Amino acid sequence: MFIEIDGWMAKLRFSACHFIPNHPKCGCLHGHTYAISVRLDGEQKGEFLIDFEKVKGIVNELCDRLDHRVLIAENDPRLRIGKKKEVTVEIIESKKRYVLPSEDVVFLPTASVSAEDLCKYFTEGIVKALRGEDNIRKIQVRVDEGIGQGAGCECEM
């Protein structure tokens, strides 16, 4: 059995800004509305496999952290990052440099801020929050970067 939550329909969304270093188009700072969809496989326990509200609460909390922020991948080897009152981000190859107020920036523990890496970030966060839900066997997460394109991953629990 599985339950599925569509991020667009269930409003598991956030808007944020990012760039993909050295990419011809996506190398410029730009924004997306993202939606996070989740599917959980497992055995029904009592009346539910899991309460939808619990899953939505977990995903919403993760979305809220990133909403209306500039997303920077902390482990991106293509960047030189300075963290003070202001954040400076220099793209090593092109020498392009952004200076941003630190309260506008969220650093992600990832190597990029692609939909793929955001998907891994969300999957990890959801898996962590679902620890102890021993009837759940598998989780699938999809991060849509706008309508019509997204990256997904799955993880056995």
Binding site for Zn ion (CB under 5 A): 26
Number of residue whose CB is nearest Zn ion: 26
The dihedral sign for the CA sequence 83, 88, 34, 111: negative
Give the residue with the Cβ less far from Zn ion, 46 or 148.
Answer: 148
Kindly state the smallest distance separating residue 97's Cβ from Zn ion, in Å: 19
Distance CA 15, CA 21 (A): 20
Angle between helices 52-66 and 115-129 (to 10 degrees): 130
Give the residue with the Cβ less far from Zn ion, 90 or 116.
Answer: 116
Q: List helix spans (H) across the chain.
A: 52-66, 115-129
Kindly state the smallest distance separating residue 146's Cβ from Zn ion, in Å: 8
Kindly state the smallest distance separating residue 26's Cβ from Zn ion, in Å: 5
Under a CB-based contact definition with an 8 Å cutoff, are residues 42 and 136 in contact?
Answer: yes
Catalytic center residues: 26, 68, 145
Which region, left, alpha or beta, applies to residue 30 given φ > 0 means left and ψ of -120 to 50 means alpha? Answer: beta
Distance CA 139, CA 126 (A): 9
Amino acid letter for position 46: G
Give the residue with the Cβ less far from Zn ion, 30 or 54.
Answer: 30
State the DSSP H helix or E strand holding residue 12, giving kind and residue range, or none if neither.
none
Kindly state the smallest distance separating residue 118's Cβ from Zn ion, in Å: 10
Give the residue with the Cβ less far from Zn ion, 30 or 137.
Answer: 30
